């Protein structure tokens, strides 16, 4: 984490997603997400806010880039784990595995930005996940569509990496018109073998 609490995981995943999906715009975004800052972990809050602001102006690519970045953050978080821990989680029954993966989700979200927290409540395969302090939802003007795709995609990908298939729906986003105090997602675990 740098002084602003921005984690390398978030910055690197956004950079890679932009390189994948907006390669002709990468040089523009590297004015803020420059390789030296990425390597040294010195990308601050202002440059990150600028990147997110410009991405929102791109329209649909915002959702695609932030979703891909969430998937990368999930994958890289799992790669950072020991193989023994991964196997141990995979060996757990579904109910316990869901709770363990949500614990990983909370840790991943804290690693992206120290001001963000995920709080989950589960009951019978259905969860409500509150994201507090979402850096993606820091906007001056309210928007029409939720801006939390990074988190939704990260949750979906983490669950999938541990053989769990889930539907994640954004119920509230504090960036939208009439937004809530925090972002809230509903996570529904699909039965084994159910089609997506």
How buried is 1 (Cβ within 10 angstroms: 0-12 exposed, 13-18 middle, 19+ buried)? middle
Would you call 22 helix, strand, or coil by DSSP?
coil
Q: What is the pLDDT of residues 115-124, one digit of tens each?
A: 888 888 887 7
Helix and strand counts by DSSP (H, E) for the chain: 8, 4
- How many domains does the chain contain in total? 1
155, part of any domain: yes
Listed range (6-15, 29-38, 102-111) with the worst mean pLDDT: 29-38
Token pair for 33:
């997400």
* pLDDT above 70 (res 194): no
pLDDT band at residue 66 under the 50/70/90 scheme: very high
Higher pLDDT, 16 or 130: 16
159: CATH: 3.90.1520.10
Asked whether residue 46 is domain-assigned, the answer is yes
Q: What is the dihedral of CA 107, 134, 147, 111, to 10 degrees?
A: -30
Classify residue 3: in a domain, yes or no. Answer: no
Phi, psi of 80 (to 5 degrees): -75, -15
Is residue 107 a contact partner of residue 118, using CB atoms and an 8 Å limit?
Answer: no
2 in a domain, yes or no? no
Helix, strand, coil share of the chain (percent; to 5): 55, 15, 30
Q: Nearest to residue 183, comparing CAs of 146, 158, 154? A: 146
Q: Could you list the residue range(s) of the whole structural domain that residue 145 is in?
A: 8-189
> Is pTM, for the whole model, over 0.85?
yes
Residue 196 lies in a domain: no
In DSSP terms, 186 is beta-bridged to: 128, 169
Calculate the average pLDDT of the chain.
86
Q: Is 160 within the bounds of a domain? A: yes
For residue 2, pLDDT over 60 is answered with no
């Amino acid at each position: 984490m740098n002084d602003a609490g921005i984690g390398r995981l978030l910055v690197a995943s956004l950079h890679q997603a932009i390189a994948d999906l907006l390669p002709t715009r990468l040089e523009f975004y590297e004015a803020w997400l420059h390789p030296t800052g990425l390597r040294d972990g010195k990308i601050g809050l202002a440059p990150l806010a600028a990147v997110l602001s410009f991405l929102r102006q791109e329209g649909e690519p915002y959702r695609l880039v932030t979703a891909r970045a969430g998937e990368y953050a999930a994958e890289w978080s799992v790669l950072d784990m020991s193989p023994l821990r991964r196997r141990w989680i995979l060996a757990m029954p579904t109910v316990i595995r869901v709770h363990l993966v949500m614990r990983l989700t909370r840790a991943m979200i804290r690693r992206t930005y120290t001001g963000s927290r995920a709080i989950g409540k589960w009951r019978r395969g259905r969860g409500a996940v509150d994201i507090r302090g979402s850096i993606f939802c820091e906007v001056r003007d309210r928007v029409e569509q939720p801006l939390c795709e990074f988190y939704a995609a990260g949750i979906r990908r983490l669950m999938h990496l541990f053989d769990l298939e889930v539907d994640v729906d954004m119920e509230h986003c504090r960036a939208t018109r009439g937004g809530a105090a925090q972002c809230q997602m509903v996570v529904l675990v699909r039965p084994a073998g159910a089609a997506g």
